[in-house]
Amino acid sequence: MYMRFLTVLVTGTVAIFCSYSMAYAQWKIVKKFVQPQVHILEESKDLLILYQPTLGDTLVLTRERGPHSDIYGKIVRKRGSNPFRIWFVHKNLGSDPTRPRNTWGRFLRMTFLNTLRIPDSEKRQPPESSLESKNHATPISGTVSRHIDNLEDPVYHFTRQPYDAACIVRRVRRL
Partner 1 sequence: MADEFRRMLLLYRRSHRRFRILTSIMAAGLICTADPVSAQLIDDFMFRITNLSITQVELAGQTHKPDFTRKKVEFGVGVGPAMLGMIYQHTSKGPRTVPGRPDDGLMITGGYNHMIHPRISLDVYGRIGILSRTPRSDPLYSTDTDIRTKLVFSHPDGKGFLFGKPLFPSAYAGFILNQYGRFQGVGGTGVWWRGAGLYLTVFRAVNGVSDPANPGKHGDVKHAHLKNGGVNLIASYEFSDLVVEIKKNHPLRNGGNDLSVVLQYRYFFKTREE
Q: Map residues 18-57 to x or -, x wherever contact with partner 1 holds by CB under 8 A.
A: --x----xx-xx--x-------------------------
CA distance 158 to 40: 26
CA distance 38 to 104: 12
**Cβ of 65: how many Cβ atoms within 10 Å?**
13
Query: Counting contacts by CB under 8 A, is residue 4 touching partner 1?
Result: no
Strand partners, 48: 43, 61
Query: Counting contacts by CB under 8 A, is residue 131 touching partner 1?
Result: no
**Cβ of 154: how many Cβ atoms within 10 Å?**
8
Cβ pair 55, 68 in contact under 8 A: no
Q: Quick one: which of 36, 83, 142, 162 contacts partner 1 (CB under 8 A)?
A: 83
Query: Judged by CB, which is closer to partner 1: 12, or 53?
Result: 12
Q: Quick one: which of 14, 40, 110, 168 contacts partner 1 (CB under 8 A)?
A: 14
Q: Quick one: which of 4, 36, 77, 175 contacts partner 1 (CB under 8 A)?
A: 77
Cβ pair 134, 42 in contact under 8 A: no
Q: Looking at residue 117, what DSSP letter applies?
A: B
Q: From the centroid of its chain, how far is CA 64?
A: 9
Is the four-CA dihedral 166, 163, 24, 90 of positive or negative sign? negative
Q: How far is the CB of 125 from partner 1 (least distance, A)?
A: 16
Q: Quick one: which of 43, 55, 116, 119 contacts partner 1 (CB under 8 A)?
A: 119
Q: Quick one: which of 4, 5, 102, 137 contacts partner 1 (CB under 8 A)?
A: 5
Q: Quick one: which of 39, 45, 101, 117 contacts partner 1 (CB under 8 A)?
A: 117
Applying CB under 8 A, the residues found at the interface with partner 1 are 2-3, 5-6, 9-10, 13-14, 16-17, 20, 25-26, 28-29, 32, 74-80, 82-86, 88, 111, 117, 119-121
